[in-house]
Amino acid sequence: MEKVSEYIQEHKDRFIHELIELLKIPSISADSKYKGDVLAAAEAVRKTLESAGADNTELCETEGFPVVYGEKIIDASKPTILVYGHYDVQPADPLELWDSPPFEPIIKDDKIYARGACDDKGQMYMHVKAFELMMNTKQLPCNVKFIIEGEEEVGSENLEAFIQSNKEKLKADIILISDTSMLSMEHPSITTGLKGLSYLEVEVTGPNRDLHSGVYGGAVANPINILCEMIASLKDENNRITIPGFYDNILEASTEERALMSKTPFNLEDYKGKLGIEEVHGKKGYTTIERKGIRPTLDVNGIWGGYIGEGAKTVLPSKASAKISMRLVPNQSDEEITQKFKNHFESIAPKSVKVEVKPHHGGEPYVMPIDIPEYKAASEAIVKAFGKEPVPVRAGGSIPIVALFEQVLGLKSILLGFGLDSDAIHSPNEHYGIENFLKGIETISYFYESYSNSYD
Amino acid sequence: MEKVSEYIQEHKDRFIHELIELLKIPSISADSKYKGDVLAAAEAVRKTLESAGADNTELCETEGFPVVYGEKIIDASKPTILVYGHYDVQPADPLELWDSPPFEPIIKDDKIYARGACDDKGQMYMHVKAFELMMNTKQLPCNVKFIIEGEEEVGSENLEAFIQSNKEKLKADIILISDTSMLSMEHPSITTGLKGLSYLEVEVTGPNRDLHSGVYGGAVANPINILCEMIASLKDENNRITIPGFYDNILEASTEERALMSKTPFNLEDYKGKLGIEEVHGKKGYTTIERKGIRPTLDVNGIWGGYIGEGAKTVLPSKASAKISMRLVPNQSDEEITQKFKNHFESIAPKSVKVEVKPHHGGEPYVMPIDIPEYKAASEAIVKAFGKEPVPVRAGGSIPIVALFEQVLGLKSILLGFGLDSDAIHSPNEHYGIENFLKGIETISYFYESYSNSYD
């Protein structure tokens, strides 16, 4: 594997140049105006896979934008890595907050600035280039398949149908994804968990019309007061969620993982300072990192009711509503928790009001155990590229496709991200460090080897 | 006093005709387009007072619309009644919901339909006509003063200054006002109390910007959850308000008054049916009528925070806000309760958030004891006109000028209203029953006598 860093040194300018060309295509999947550009990006990705040495490259039709496919099967008895990424990007507005046009990439301070630079064109392209490297240096030790979709930023709506109907084609041993971040270049990390999500909307109805709060106040239930009381009762004084059965079956993080997590570089004073808060807040008995990563949470995401204009209006409103979401950890299931919430919320409503609970959408949690060979192979690749062991990080966010892959294909995903939280993805001035890009290519190349070795 | 009903019978057509002429003037104080009409109404009222026999009638200048003044001093040693009313009216929109134009009064089913028919031109005019009756039948037993203002519907902003600078001129023994309603023609009532008001806005700030609820949820205080918990804690399980000192000094209603109140005709099933609720809700140990009338209340009038659009957004917002008002009973004071709320609300905020409490506006409560001669005189007049004893009613609403009169002039007000809750004041198709109008004139005439007798 000595040729890896040499190859990268030799070809890095071309790698960057090619990525910049791809970033020039405004492949905004959310805006139908850009339909042609999204399709052009798909074709560009197909071509680049082909040039890198992939066989059977094609644009697989879906109800929406195509999934780009490519593969290299060197030996059916060898393990197969399935790489997932996406070629579509977020809208670029507000445009006026960009220092340079989002689809005219520039390099500044060793970072590439453009929409999609990190999410996910830059990270996805690392895989194409690592594959090219392995092919051109004749080191590819296993089979590879690529699926690069064009609808990740609009909810991957057609991906499930694609996977369901291509189970044979997508047969693999592990999924490799670079669409997350790592702690820092000094503290490389691997995302070992994603939370699931149960998102609901609740509506509390009191009287059948808005009333005068002087004439009816104190005698008729005020749906805002009641909603507040119901929401408050969802947590006890230790911030434990009170929904019956909420914590049933939770797969607790192992002592080893908690010990590793506790080594995550984290400065509480700095964290509080950046958020402008005096104290953190959460479930008793857990650190901030654990609260974020391994504990399920319940947050009100929106609340409204009554008069919300300027000044004062003495109304006792008919209705009050809230959007409430719960982040789930392994082995909670979206459907089960949604039902438990609904049952509980309806049961605690006083007779003086009516309550409606409407589930919005959800997703299942995901966890990658750190004691399986795939994780150890990824860890080894990081050690080789960065010179230090990665920190396993359980993320608070949700990427529903990862749970989907597990459900439909029965495969674990390795979330090997090289972005930084400061990369401004989904925001103006998105960028991606050139060092991150090149280290990513290097790490992925090493992973091919460590993974194949672990499989033997 | 035999001549009272005879005089009314003889002149009632003219009374109605005169009122209709006054109702034709669109004296909408809130809309500057109608400024000339408001002034025309003031002059019309002055003239009608003059015709009825009042001396020294004038339009007293204020910073806004004038106060119409008139008086009849028959004997400085006799008691003086100060009549208050207003000649301005609410805007008439939405115009399309009126069955006949708001300023083209018509009589239908023995009711006069027009904006201001009840509130307050019709009720105010009963006083002018009762005074005329007493003058023309040479029975006026006491002195009378009138102040009819033109800014009641826009908050009586200039009335305090007027009263403050005319204390001598307005010297009297009792104030008489017809700007409230009674239970029904079968159940005449006297409004014996009005609630005070403390209205505040609260803002809870967590992190200094909106955060991703996946990344920060469970580790950083969510201001919506916290606001809900704080609001919920303002009442205990018996709906007792938990603000320290909130119930201090309250002047409890007497056993006699509670006994009389319990005779108020009230059908709980009907009340619940009309509001579409299964259960009423309020402080333990009190009836619905008591909760409305004699107990202080706390209602959230508006709440907002986070994402309130369609669909789902996983935001942990920076801020959450609410408008909260408390209705006060005698002897709670607006200023004191506002301060107690502020102190308490700030004290219960966890360290993980910042809280701001902004007082909006308020008003003092008012009560008319039912054991004083003035009340008994009003009760006697009702008995004479209606053949039955009135029910004392504590209203849940607030009329700040009544507390103002007590504060500045040291005078109690008798709230002798003849409107019905069904009169649609402030709404399309406002109307006033002709029988109510005539019974009002009769009752007021009797009051002159009973009041003068009680004073001897």
Q: What pLDDT score was predicted for residue B456?
A: 67
| Distance (Å, whole) CA B420 – CA B422 | 5
Supply the ipTM of this predicted assembly: 0.83
Size of interface A-B (CB pairs under 8 A): 285
The residue in chain B having the minimum alpha-carbon distance to the alpha carbon of residue A279 is B352
Q: Where are the alpha helices (DSSP H) in A171-267?
A: 213-216, 223-232, 255-261
CATH number of residue B414's parent domain: 3.40.630.10
Q: Tell me how far apart the alpha carbons of residues B186 and B188 are, in angstroms, rounded to a whole number.
A: 6
Tell me if the bond preceding B91 is cis, omega within 30° of 0.
no
- For residue A256, tell me if it sits in a domain: no
Are B94 and B68 contacting, i.e. CB atoms less than 8 angstroms apart? no
Asked if residue B240 lies in contact with residue B352, where contact means CB atoms within 8 angstroms, the answer is no
Cα A162 to Cα A167: distance, rounded to the nearest angstrom: 9
- What burial class does residue B227 get, using C-beta atoms within 10 Å of its C-beta: 0-12 exposed, 13-18 middle, 19+ buried? buried
Domain check: are A95 and A37 in the same one?
yes
- Assigned token pair, B400: 């700040």
B276: left (phi over 0), alpha (psi -120 to 50) or beta: left
Q: Residue B171 contacts by C-beta under 8 Å, 6 or more apart in sequence? A: B80, B409
Report the distance separating Cα A343 and Cα A346, nearest Å.
5
pLDDT for the residue numbered A325: 95
Alpha carbon separation from B42 to A118, B59, B86 (Å, rounded) = 73, 7, 9
A286 within a domain of the structure (yes/no): no
- Cβ atoms of A350 and B238 within 8 Å: the answer is no
Catalytic residue among B37, B88, B119, B290: B88
Q: Which of residues 302-341 of A touch B (CB under 8 A)?
A: 302-308, 311-317, 320-323, 325, 327
Domain boundary among A345, A363, A381: A363
Predicted pLDDT of residue A1: 56
Which of these, A179, A347, A379, lies nearest to A260 by C-alpha position?
A: A379
Query: Are residues B378 and B354 both part of a single domain?
Result: no
pLDDT in tens, A403-446: 899 999 999 999 999 999 889 888 889 999 999 999 999 999 99
In a shared domain, residues B110 and B227: no
- Nearest of A257, A66, A35 to residue A146 by alpha carbon: A66
Positive/negative CA dihedral, A311, A315, A318, A320 = positive
Q: What is the 3-state secondary structure (H, E, C) of A359-378?
A: EEEEECCEECCCCCHHHHHH
In A, which residues are within 8 Å of B302 by CB distance? 224, 305-308, 313, 315, 317
- Answer for the pair A59, A66: CB distance below 8 angstroms, yes or no: yes
| Stretches in chain A below the pLDDT threshold 50 | none
Structural domains counted in chain A: 2
CA distance B280 to A206: 10
Closest B-chain CA to A212: B397
Residue A426 confidence (pLDDT)? 84
Residue B15 lies inside a defined structural domain of this protein: yes
pLDDT > 90 in chain B, percent:
80
User: Do the Cβ atoms of A327 and A297 come closer than 8 Å?
Assistant: yes
Q: B117 is written with which tokens?
A: 């028919």
Are B149 and B89 in contact by the 8 Å Cβ rule? The answer is no
Assigned domain for B357 exists = yes
B47-56, B282-291, B341-350: segment of lowest average pLDDT: B282-291
Chain B residues within 8 A of A303 when measuring between CB atoms: 224, 227-228, 303-306, 308, 320
Choosing from A363, A395, A418, the residue where a domain stops is: A363
Q: Specify whether B154 is located in the same domain as B217.
A: no
CA distance B213 to chain A (A): 7
Contacting B residues, span 243-282, partner chain A, CB-CB under 8 Å: 275-282
Distance from CA of A182 to the nearest CA of B (A): 14
Cβ partners under 8 Å of residue A58, min gap 6? A46, A68, A69, A70
Q: What is the per-residue pLDDT across A343-366, written as a single tens digit (0 to 9) for each?
A: 999 999 999 999 999 998 788 999
Q: Where are the alpha helices (DSSP H) in B387-433?
A: 400-409
Please say whether the beta carbons of A293 and A370 come within 8 A: no
The reply to whether B33 touches chain A by the CB within 8 Å rule is no
Q: Are A22 and A124 in contact (CB under 8 A)?
A: no
If asked whether residues B430 and B371 sit together in one domain, one would say yes
Residue that finishes a domain, picked among B342, B363, B384: B363
Cβ separation A316–B301 shorter than 8 A? yes
Are the C-beta atoms of residues B300 and A223 closer than 8 Å to each other? no
**Phi (first) and psi of residue B214, to 5 degrees:** -80, -40
Band (B398; pLDDT cuts 50, 70, 90): confident
- Does residue B73 have a pLDDT over 80? yes
d(CA A327, CA B214): 7
Measure the N-to-C terminal CA separation of chain A; round to a whole number of Å: 18
Longest dimension (CA), chain A: 84
Candidates A372, A375, A409; CA nearest to A393 is A375
Those residues whose C-beta lies under 8 Å from the C-beta of residue B57, and which sit 6 or more positions away, are B46, B47, B49, B50, B68, B69, B70
Query: Cβ(A324)–Cβ(A231) under 8 Å?
Result: yes
Instruction: Pick the closest to residue B425 from B64, B118, B30, B20 (CA basis).
Output: B118
Q: Is residue B152 part of a domain?
A: yes
pLDDT digits (tens, 9 = 90+) for B433-452: 999 999 999 999 999 999 99
User: Is residue A88 annotated as part of the catalytic site, yes or no?
Assistant: yes
Residue A152 appears among annotated catalytic residues: yes
Nearest 5°: CA angle at A180, between A176 and A183?
A: 120
Is A14 contained in some domain?
yes
Say what the pLDDT of residue A202 is.
98
Whether A397 and A312 share a structural domain: no
Q: What is the pLDDT of residue A456?
A: 67
Statement to judge: residues B335 and B433 lie in one domain: no
Residues A175, A412 contacting (CB under 8 angstroms): yes
B342: domain CATH number is 3.30.70.360
Is there a domain that residue B381 lies in? yes
Query: How far apart are the C-alpha atoms of B264 and A357, rounded to whole Å?
Result: 39
**Mean pLDDT score, B197-210:** 94
C-alpha separations of B123 from B148, B225, B394, B435 in Å: 12, 49, 20, 12
- Do A113 and A8 fall within a single domain? yes
Radius of gyration for the alpha carbons in chain B, expressed in angstroms and rounded: 25
Contact across the interface for A281 and B231, Cβ inside 8 Å: no
A300 vs B contacts (CB less than 8 Å): 222, 224-225, 228, 305-306
Give the per-residue pLDDT at A363: 86
Whether the CB-CB separation of A81 and A451 falls below 8 Å is answered with yes
- Specify the residue for token string 């301005």: B88
Could you give the angle at which helices B35-52 and B121-136 cross, rounded to 10 degrees?
20
Q: Can you read off the two tokens belonging to residue A230?
A: 């119901």
Q: Could you tell me whether strands B366-367 and B211-212 are parallel, antiparallel, or unpaired per DSSP bridges?
A: unpaired
What's the pLDDT band for B312 if we cut at 50, 70, 90? confident
What is the C-alpha to C-alpha distance for residues A73 and A76, in angstroms, rounded to an integer?
7
Q: How far is CA B185 from the centre of its chain?
A: 20
Are B39 and B182 part of one and the same domain?
Answer: yes
Question: Which one from A18, A37, A71, A88 is the annotated catalytic residue?
Answer: A88
CA angle, corner B127, sides to B121 and B131, nearest 5? 140
B62 touches B29 (CB < 8 A):
no
* A172 and A35 co-located in one domain: yes
3-state secondary structure of A416: coil
Position B1 pLDDT exceeds 60: no
Q: Which amino acid is at B77?
A: S
* Main-chain phi, psi angles of B196, to 5 degrees: -85, 180
The SS3 of residue B243 is: coil
Longest dimension (CA), chain B: 84
Q: What is the full DSSP assignment across B29-86? A: TT-GGGHHHHHHHHHHHHHHHHHHT-EEEEEE--SSSPEEEEEE-S-TTS-EEEEEEE
Yes or no: say if B64 and B400 are a contact pair by the CB < 8 Å rule. no
Q: What is the pLDDT of residues B223-238, one digit of tens each?
A: 999 999 999 999 999 9
- Give the whole-angstrom CA distance, residue A127 versus residue A444: 7
B425, amino acid identity: I
Distance CA B371, CA A85 (A): 83
Please indicate whether, in this complex, the C-beta atoms of A218 and B396 are within 8 angstroms of each other: yes
Residue of B194, B216, B307, B338 for testing the chain A interface, max A β-carbons within 10 Å: B216
Residues 390-429 of A with CB under 8 A from B: 395-398
Residue B175 in domain: yes
| Per-residue pLDDT at B424 exceeds 90 | no
- B313: confidence class by pLDDT, cuts 50, 70, 90: confident
- Kindly state whether residues B358 and B386 are assigned to the same domain: no
One domain, residues A234 and A146: no
One of B152, B179, B290, B380 is an active-site residue; which one?
B152
Q: What is the DSSP letter of B107?
A: E
The pLDDT of residue B2: 61
* Residue B48 domain boundaries: 3-194+365-455
- The residues with which A359 forms a beta bridge, in sequence order, are A200
